């Protein structure tokens, strides 16, 4: 019970801080995506979403052919990662998350800040993924549409509610492909 109260407090503090950090830079998404050399992909926290996102990694890599990919996944999914992703994955462990649900400074020391693009595959709001995105200096920050994410991402993909998860990911990948043309 106390952990949930502290986590809710941490989330609310983080969300309030993000409201003041509205970036108004105009971005040429097509150009940024085409020139991306380092992409950070945030894999979903929910297990059913994770499985769908993992199956799409070849299509994502085919869309951004010039980019080197780094993945972030919760440690509970370490064994579920395909072999090609394991060496380029940073794991979020329980030790990386503070009592109020925020990632600690030690975790961020493991992530280089040279990413051109961040892609968040969480369908709902995930505090750790949103915090990573907010700390990144990436020009393009893509996620699925969610009201709490608005201050932190500059490209939100809205998908119909009734679509299956794999089709929602397909929609995101199609947007990325279209923007690169």
> Which domains are assigned to the chain?
2-19+28-180 (3.40.50.2000)
**Calpha distance 171→115 (Å, rounded):** 23
Rg (CA), the chain: 16
> In the predicted model, is pLDDT for residue 149 greater than 50?
yes
Based on the number of CB atoms within 10 Å of its own CB, is 19 exposed (0-12), middle (13-18) or buried (19 or more)? exposed
- Give the helix/strand (H/E) hosting 143: strand 140-144
pLDDT at 20: 42
Short-list 156, 136, 137, CA closest to 145: 156
Mean pLDDT on 63-74: 91
Asked whether 144 and 172 are in contact (CB, 8 A), the reply is yes
> In the predicted model, is pLDDT for residue 2 greater than 60?
no
Give the global pTM. 0.85
Distances from the Cα of 172 to the Cα of 78, 101, 168, angstroms: 24, 28, 7
Short-list 171, 167, 140, 174, CA closest to 155: 140
Identify which has the larger pLDDT, 154 or 19.
154
Share of the chain above pLDDT 70, in %: 86
CB-side neighbour CA atoms (13 Å) of 119:
24
Q: Model confidence over 17-64: pLDDT tens digits?
A: 654 445 567 788 888 888 889 999 999 999 889 988 998 889 988 888
Those residues whose C-beta lies under 8 Å from the C-beta of residue 7, and which sit 6 or more positions away, are: 100, 101, 127
Please report the sign of the dihedral spanned by the C-alpha atoms of residue 59, residue 117, residue 42, residue 96: positive
């Amino acid at each position: 019970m106390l952990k949930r109260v502290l986590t809710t407090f941490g989330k609310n503090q983080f969300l309030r801080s993000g409201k003041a950090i509205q970036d108004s830079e105009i971005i040429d998404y097509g150009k940024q995506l085409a020139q991306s050399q380092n992409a950070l992909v945030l894999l979903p926290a929910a297990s059913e979403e994770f499985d769908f996102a993992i199956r799409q990694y070849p299509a994502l890599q085919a869309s951004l052919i010039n980019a080197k990919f780094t993945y972030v996944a919760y440690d509970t999914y370490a064994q579920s990662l395909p072999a090609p992703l394991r060496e380029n994955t940073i794991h979020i462990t329980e030790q990386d998350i503070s009592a109020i649900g925020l990632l600690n400074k030690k975790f961020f020391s493991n992530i280089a800040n040279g990413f051109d693009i961040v892609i968040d595959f969480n369908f709902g709001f995930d505090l750790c993924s949103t915090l990573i995105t907010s700390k990144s200096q990436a020009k393009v920050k893509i996620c699925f549409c969610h009201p709490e994410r608005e201050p932190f991402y500059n490209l939100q993909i809205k998908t119909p509610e009734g679509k299956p998860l794999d089709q929602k990911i397909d929609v995101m990948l199609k947007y990325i492909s279209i923007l690169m043309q």
